[in-house]
Structure 1
């Protein structure tokens, strides 16, 4: 899992200063949206993934659920979605957004100062277990159930993922019939691929071994990869799946059926004692509706159109029957 600073995404989003987290994801050349230090706390025991929280909690029973977030725009948006979804079910909520990196947030959750946090399951697993090898959503969440301390749990993961991708323009996708990374096999030798400076050393051999791809050239494009795709400087680029420029420039993230980039599903991480069944169900309902394309469109409104995250969250919840 990479620990590259989240400044890449900050430059793309042009809003709050980001931090090394995983956003974007993890497992790749990209940063870990909730990054910070790679040292993890000791896992204190098992917890059940996707299960309702402890019986003595708050959530609709009078106590206050404290929803936190890291200090980058996407996580603030997700925190606002969680918060407003809970309020819509009558749960008392306190918001503590823009706190910091995972190591700070995780400690706050363990202590009970926070109840709910929007997490990225693959990055969280790497934080807890640097030797973890799980890449699919199901396997990552199963591993998390073993790695998390008994006081914490992950609820249902959403289909939405903030992770690395190989993306192309819509024109390139249409011209060559590209839908997945595997479809690049016939054209990779003619294509220049762009990404951060470390992308080649970390991924070149993996793409050869897993997909049989050998690209014509690897070009370090850093924060300008999406622009390089749009302008034709590269034909394939490493772009985060919730980067608003995917919408702006009509880019196409290619499917990754062999999981070169491990799962990075947006997933509620919770202190089980702080939630009841009502609150748990509200958060799981959000996960059931939230997908990558939808989150990317929301992030365009926040990062490009400069709309208030709480307003964007409210609109999404209303349109999905959750607010």
Structure 2
């Protein structure tokens, strides 16, 4: 996911607390609780919006929230929560009502034996698999996939074009990525099962952020999980290894929402946002958010909505 994606994921089972201050919307927000405790559900007329703790997810949460606010819907945008292993329970117990997610990894989280990889197949299976009280709205054309990434020098030296090409040398390599990638079905277990690639060791870094990028650049890790919409891939001339056997399923952006809060008005607003989101647009959003002047994410989101006629 991050992927993508920027910011450190909280490990599964970690405390779901952070002091959550509202970034926008009515009424302010209270903490999600301490020691993993849930907070009370939002008021029936308010949608509490969460995000994973990476930049793209935070941007999408702001875009969703501001689009809803522009049409008079009350929202409460929380501070970043953490990984899916943390925020999914918060959705199911009502601590939050809406979060931007990605179809393929969400499906595999809910249904670990899912085999669908094509975008439409994944989305169809996801709609059937999402448990009450949740539902998903329209998927966007925008896609942000996990990818196995190496430096251009390392790719040239070892004649690497696809993940399969790593098999002969993987036992000498350290792989870097978020802690969850080490155990998720399409992470290290999937790479090993699909391509017969077993790495020497795994280094738990951040989620598509500066620590992972630095690890690749200084050769602390020789391959890493980055998100395909991460501008650092292009900026550093990293090589994304092909995935011909589709270890990574389609990862289209999708709103995951409590069905009780998904009124016809809310669906119409969010589906209009989804219709404007493109993969190229995500790359641009991430690049803008990570510019040297470090603009506020709410401002980046506001400008995107204005440019797309949704403000």
TM-score bracket, shorter-length normalisation: 0.5 to 0.7
Matches of 1:109 and 1:295, distance apart in 2:
24
The answer to whether the aligner puts 1:64 opposite 2:51 as a matched pair is no
Question: Contact 2:49–2:78 (CA<8 Å) still a contact in 1?
Answer: yes
Indicate the SS of the match to 1:153.
strand
Matches of 2:242 and 2:94, distance apart in 1:
38
Identify the range of structure 1 (76-85 vs 249-258) with the bigger mean alpha-carbon deviation: 249-258
**C-alpha displacement of 1:67:** 1.6
The answer to whether the aligner puts 1:318 opposite 2:300 as a matched pair is no
Question: Contact 1:196–1:222 (CA<8 Å) still a contact in 2?
Answer: yes
**C-alpha displacement of 1:226:** 4.8
Matches of 1:218 and 1:292, distance apart in 2:
33
**C-alpha displacement of 1:108:** 3.3
In structure 2, the partner of 1:109 is 91
Aligned ranges 1:36-185 → 2 under 5 Å = 63-167=45-149, 181=162
Matches of 1:88 and 1:82, distance apart in 2:
10
Task: Using structure 1 for the length normalisation, give the TM-score.
Answer: 0.63
Q: Cα distance 1:136–1:307, how it changes in 2: closer, same or farther (>3 A)? A: same
Matches of 1:101 and 1:170, distance apart in 2:
30
Question: Contact 1:170–1:252 (CA<8 Å) still a contact in 2?
Answer: yes
Matches of 1:218 and 1:99, distance apart in 2:
32
Structure 1 spans left out of the alignment, 5+ residues: 1-5, 21-34, 38-61, 209-213
Matches of 1:130 and 1:201, distance apart in 2:
12
Question: Contact 1:76–1:309 (CA<8 Å) still a contact in 2?
Answer: yes
Matches of 2:54 and 2:226, distance apart in 1:
17
**C-alpha displacement of 1:274:** 0.9
Identify the range of structure 1 (246-255 vs 112-121) with the bigger mean alpha-carbon deviation: 246-255
In structure 1, the partner of 2:281 is 294
Aligned-residue CA RMSD in angstroms? Answer: 4.3
Q: Cα distance 1:204–1:151, how it changes in 2: closer, same or farther (>3 A)? A: closer
1:293-320 deviations in whole A, cap 9, x for unaligned? 3223322333453221111111221222
**C-alpha displacement of 1:207:** 3.9
Question: Contact 1:200–1:218 (CA<8 Å) still a contact in 2?
Answer: no
- 2:270 pairs with 283, 291, 298, which one? 283
Question: Contact 2:3–2:56 (CA<8 Å) still a contact in 1?
Answer: no
Question: Contact 2:3–2:228 (CA<8 Å) still a contact in 1?
Answer: no
**C-alpha displacement of 1:17:** 3.8
Q: Cα distance 1:150–1:232, how it changes in 2: closer, same or farther (>3 A)? A: closer
Matches of 2:128 and 2:254, distance apart in 1:
16
The aligned length equals 267
The answer to whether the aligner puts 1:267 opposite 2:249 as a matched pair is no
Matches of 1:169 and 1:289, distance apart in 2:
32
The answer to whether the aligner puts 1:196 opposite 2:176 as a matched pair is yes
Matches of 1:247 and 1:147, distance apart in 2:
35
- 2:232 pairs with 229, 238, 245, which one? 245
**C-alpha displacement of 1:118:** 0.9
Task: Using structure 2 for the length normalisation, give the TM-score.
Answer: 0.65
Structure 2 spans left out of the alignment, 5+ residues: 15-43, 206-210
**C-alpha displacement of 1:114:** 2.6
Question: Contact 2:111–2:129 (CA<8 Å) still a contact in 1?
Answer: yes
